[in-house]
Amino acid sequence: MNSETTTHNHEGFTPKEIITYSLLGVVVLGGSFFIGRRLVRKVRSDSEEKKTYEEGNEATMAKQLKMAFDNDMWFGWGTDEEAIRKTLQAVPSKEVFRKVINSYQKLYARSLMKDMQDELTSTEYNEMLAIIAAKPDRGNKVLAPSLSANQYLSWAKRLRAAFNITYGPFPGTDEDAIKAVFMEIPTQAAFGQVALAYKKEYNDDLMKDLQSELEFYEIGPMLDIIAKKPKV
């Protein structure tokens, strides 16, 4: 038996060649899997993108949220919190919001909730969660807020989040968020219920906190919004 016979297996490959070809096969298979996965994601994204031309559906809302995250403010960076707020207000139910989350994943291969956490401060994030928490479980139509204990608490939580916002190390107040809540509250009686919910949740007086958080020239116009509402 010669040396060539002893260094090759019965198929004519040396152990080194077997290992090399095996590793090459793994690389090829791994690359094919990666490329295949990328293609599947691309097809899903393209399919979902076509839905974003329809106003009011979950794909459009997902795209609006992504655009708000990527908004070019202040020399090319920033997040449009008002656009996020308006988009979430347009979501009719928790069921539809779950579809928005799924559509966002299909469009961008990213987690909507993770991106929202990254883009917003903790108080802004809590405000957005409160908006969704007040939605009905199911439904495809945007309805006027139902005057329920859950809705009053949602408004109270959003006001508290607006009071607790910080800008870097500096405390601040989100006046736009306060105004958004005041515009949504339909009556003076409902505002009174929000104040009660605020007191129960935080053991603080809503009017005193408003006076503390807003400048003297802001408090009047803000309360005028409520004063112009019907009493009941």
Q: Is the pLDDT of residue 137 over 80?
A: yes
Higher-confidence residue of 53 and 155: namely: 155
In angstroms, rounded to a whole number, what is the distance separating the alpha carbons of residues 117 and 75? 22
Name which residue leads in pLDDT, 9 or 64.
Answer: 64
- Lowest mean pLDDT, pick from 13-22, 60-69, 144-153: 13-22
Domain 144-232 bears CATH identifier 3.30.70.1140 = no
Q: For the chain, which residues make up each domain, given as ranges? A: 1-48, 54-141, 144-232
- pLDDT, one tens digit per residue, over 76-89 is 467 899 999 999 99
Mean per-residue pLDDT over the chain, rounded: 84
Domain over 54-141 is classified CATH 1.10.10.60: no
Query: How far is the C-alpha of 150 from the C-alpha of 182, rounded, in Å?
Result: 16
Phi, psi of 170 (to 5 degrees): -105, 130
Number of C-beta neighbours around residue 70 at 10 A: 13
Pairwise CA distance, residues 175 & 162, whole Å = 7
pLDDT at residue number 17: 63
The residue-averaged pLDDT of 5-16 equals 58
- CB count within 10 Å of CB 113 equals 13
Q: Is the pLDDT of residue 51 over 50?
A: yes
Report the percent of the chain where pLDDT is more than 70: 77
Segment 39-55 shows an average pLDDT of 62
Assess contact for 131 and 89: CB atoms under 8 A: yes
- How far apart CA 138 and CA 121 sit, in angstroms, is 28
Q: What is the pLDDT of residues 177-229, one digit of tens each?
A: 999 999 999 999 999 999 999 999 999 999 999 999 999 999 999 999 999 99
What does the pLDDT read at residue 167? 78
d(CA 86, CA 43): 29
In this predicted structure, the answer to whether residue 6 has a pLDDT above a threshold of 50 is: no
DSSP string, the chain: --HHHHHS-TTS--HHHHHHHHHHHHHHHHHHHHHHHHHHHHHHHHHHHGGGGSTTSHHHHHHHHHHHHT---TTT----HHHHHHHHHT---HHHHHHHHHHHHHHHSS-HHHHHHHHS-HHHHHHHHHHHHTS-SS-SS--PPP-SHHHHHHHHHHHHHHHT-EETTEE---HHHHHHHHHH---HHHHHHHHHHHHHHHSS-HHHHHHHHS-HHHHHHHHHHHHTS---
pLDDT at 25: 62
Read off the pLDDT of each residue in 10-38 and give the average, rounded to a whole number: 62
> Which phi-psi region, left, alpha or beta, contains residue 78 (left: φ > 0; alpha: ψ -120 to 50)?
left
Q: Fold identical between 54-141 and 144-232? A: yes
pTM over 0.75: no
Local confidence band at 127 (pLDDT 50, 70, 90 cut-offs): very high
How many other β-carbons are positioned within 10 Å of the β-carbon of residue 86?
Answer: 13
Average pLDDT (150-178) is 91
Pick from 1-5, 15-19, 89-93, 198-202 the range whose average pLDDT is largest. Answer: 198-202
Residue 10 has pLDDT above 80, yes or no: no
How large is the average pLDDT for residues 60-77?
A: 80
Distance of CA 136 to the CA centre of its chain: 18
